A and B are shown apart, each in its own frame.
Chain A
């Protein structure tokens, strides 16, 4: 019998209403009111699952699905309203790194303090101090006050301490969606090696590529209920379907930026008609109708295609090609035509951002703009595209050679 590291049995969590601040006066007033004013929020409802020791598992779900609540209950930060949670093993949590860092203290003092709060003993910290500093990449700044650190440095230092914990169960919440790409890779590596050492890993992230790299199994929460529990690729697919369903209802949503608004974003097929579905291997155009409330000189537009994650697999950026307009002001249209879509048939996201002149300043942050589907009319069975279609989004012509 493999032992379970974590067991949730019929766990529910209700919060009292969404009101944040209460005073004694409010409670007094409530005592004289016949009907309760607050509505309870059901964050988790009758959730049951078991995680065997040594397994890596991801928890997916839209915002407000109850992922963070589940982690909080697991770590005894909050307590369930019903049900039972069993944890067998020393747990180490990495929930939104950087909390607990005190701005007035130096990096060195913070590492000692934060390490102890996270569960390292004084001797452990002493032994791993150099590793922690090196992993964070803060160098000589370790003896400066943390308030002089950039926010990136602060986050890296926080994560670095947590990454050097050696718990049997490691809980990670959205932590690696921060920091530069190099640091993110180091984090994924660290988590991979932890999981290879046989530690249990529970991972909550919107970075689906990291989820698929790290986890074999995933759970999907929707409105506080557990709706899927199975192999990560399958659960990721149903999660993406959920994201896209939400997106298509909100497709015409405006995107507001700093003095610039995207009023309408559409995907055009080869005939120039707005379409929810376009043909593979044909031209496709992303059209943005914008409104600039001020004159923006040399705006740098970037448009990318992704499978649902923030990391695009194709990007068109004016930062690279330099084809930036002289200036934009008032209402206008921008189109980006992709000559051909060598993609497999499924849903994709269009992501975009606008930055100021020379790439400085976010006018519109990098975000999901809209969603579209690719249809493939001809299936060439000889190339096995139906099967491989599930693996990768992009199709390139290829040929096998063998000396057999």
Chain B
């Protein structure tokens, strides 16, 4: 009898996915684990509006009470690029693949800026909303996802800035520009794969928060932002492109904008595959750990 009622409830719960917000029925037991991937993804999808609300909050809050507000979106990569150009472009003899160093570094900075922002904001996102975790139910993975969505809003104007510089340097649009969307795709997948686990671990060990700035700095040098990938010998270059999504994206955007070439499809697909696998493994552990977030945050 009881099992019959429970089955009915479970069916009801299944049906109600897709509505906004909480499911109409659910059963909680002590042994619930990861459940199934589709059910988790459906649940997260049901909360897409909440996710977008979190993202829009982050965007709105970020530049409140800043005198020049949104201008920071383009100023940040621009200033960093100018610094790199002055210090590294003039003083050192780093290869810029034959392109103007400013343009070369800006390609790297725009991609890296987004990736590191999505990574750090995401890794901090769960702890940052500790108060809500203790009060309201929602699938917690929407927080790191929202952090990445919010960073995407910054990416668009900085890509526009990059394209303006591109044209300013006399490089007119080519057919290859059609491949540009692959850059944010690789970056989003990569940031998601990399920030889920730190986001969860941060709840248990605040040490993560202190390690993040170092990881970002290491990442900056471990990604070809200021130097060219051509300077790395094979096969390390290919391995590097596959395991580091930022490197993959930077290589792709430079091929498109500096050399009028198509991105290396095989390597890009491999990188996406690697991000997917890493992302799914991270997601599994995230959902496992999620159950004790409210107790421990």
Q: Given the complex of chains A and B, what is the CA–CA distance between A81 and B294 in angstroms?
A: 14
Q: Given the complex of chains A and B, what is the CA–CA distance between A23 and B57 in angstroms?
A: 30
CB distance from B54 to the nearest CB of A (A): 8
Chain A 75-87: CB-based contact to B (< 8 A → 1; otherwise 0): 1111111111111
A75 B137 Cβ-Cβ under 8 A? yes
Contacts of B23 in A (CB 8 A): 90
A83 B29 Cβ-Cβ under 8 A? yes
CB distance from A148 to the nearest CB of B (A): 12
A113 B21 Cβ-Cβ under 8 A? no
A87 B26 Cβ-Cβ under 8 A? yes
Q: Does A109 contact B (CB under 8 A)?
A: yes
Q: Does B153 contact A (CB under 8 A)?
A: no
CB distance from A277 to the nearest CB of B (A): 44
Chain A 1-25: CB-based contact to B (< 8 A → 1; otherwise 0): 0000000000010011000011111
Contacts of B25 in A (CB 8 A): 86-89
B57 A121 Cβ-Cβ under 8 A? no
Q: Does A327 contact B (CB under 8 A)?
A: no
B295 A23 Cβ-Cβ under 8 A? no
Q: Given the complex of chains A and B, what is the CA–CA distance between A167 and B137 in angstroms?
A: 14
Contacts of B22 in A (CB 8 A): 90-92, 119, 167
- The stretch that binds A, out of B58-66, B87-95, B107-115, B168-176, is B58-66
**Which residue of A has the minimal Cβ distance to B12?**
A88
Contacts of B32 in A (CB 8 A): 79
Q: Given the complex of chains A and B, what is the CA–CA distance between A113 and B52 in angstroms?
A: 9
B205 A23 Cβ-Cβ under 8 A? yes
- The stretch that binds B, out of A97-105, A177-185, A348-356, is A97-105
Q: Given the complex of chains A and B, what is the CA–CA distance between A166 and B278 in angstroms?
A: 40
B28 A79 Cβ-Cβ under 8 A? yes
CB distance from B27 to the nearest CB of A (A): 5
Q: Does B218 contact A (CB under 8 A)?
A: no
Known contacts A76-B26, A99-B132; A86/B295 CB under 8 A? no
Q: Given the complex of chains A and B, what is the CA–CA distance between A118 and B53 in angstroms?
A: 11
Q: What's the tally of chain A residues with a CB closer than 8 Å to chain B? A: 49
Contacts of A104 in B (CB 8 A): 60-61, 64-65
Which residues of chain A from 44 to 91 have a CB within 8 Å of any chain B CB? 72-73, 75-91
Q: Does B262 contact A (CB under 8 A)?
A: no
Chain B 17-60: CB-based contact to A (< 8 A → 1; otherwise 0): 00011111111111010000000000000000110011011001
Q: Does A93 contact B (CB under 8 A)?
A: yes
**Which residue of B has the minimal Cβ distance to A92?**
B22
B60 A117 Cβ-Cβ under 8 A? no
Contacts of B20 in A (CB 8 A): 119-121
Q: Does A131 contact B (CB under 8 A)?
A: no
Q: Does A112 contact B (CB under 8 A)?
A: yes
Contacts of B21 in A (CB 8 A): 90, 119-121
Contacts of A23 in B (CB 8 A): 205-207
Q: Given the complex of chains A and B, what is the CA–CA distance between A161 and B232 in angstroms?
A: 57
Which residues of chain B from 144 to 203 have a CB within 8 Å of any chain A CB? none
Q: Does B204 contact A (CB under 8 A)?
A: yes
B137 A76 Cβ-Cβ under 8 A? yes
Contacts of A90 in B (CB 8 A): 16, 21-24
- B interface vs A, CB < 8 Å? 6, 9, 12, 16, 20-30, 32, 49-50, 53-54, 56-57, 60-61, 64-65, 131-138, 204-207, 291-292, 294-296
Q: List 12 A-B contacts (CB under 8 A).
A: A16-B296, A22-B204, A23-B206, A75-B137, A78-B294, A79-B30, A84-B28, A102-B61, A104-B64, A113-B53, A113-B54, A121-B49
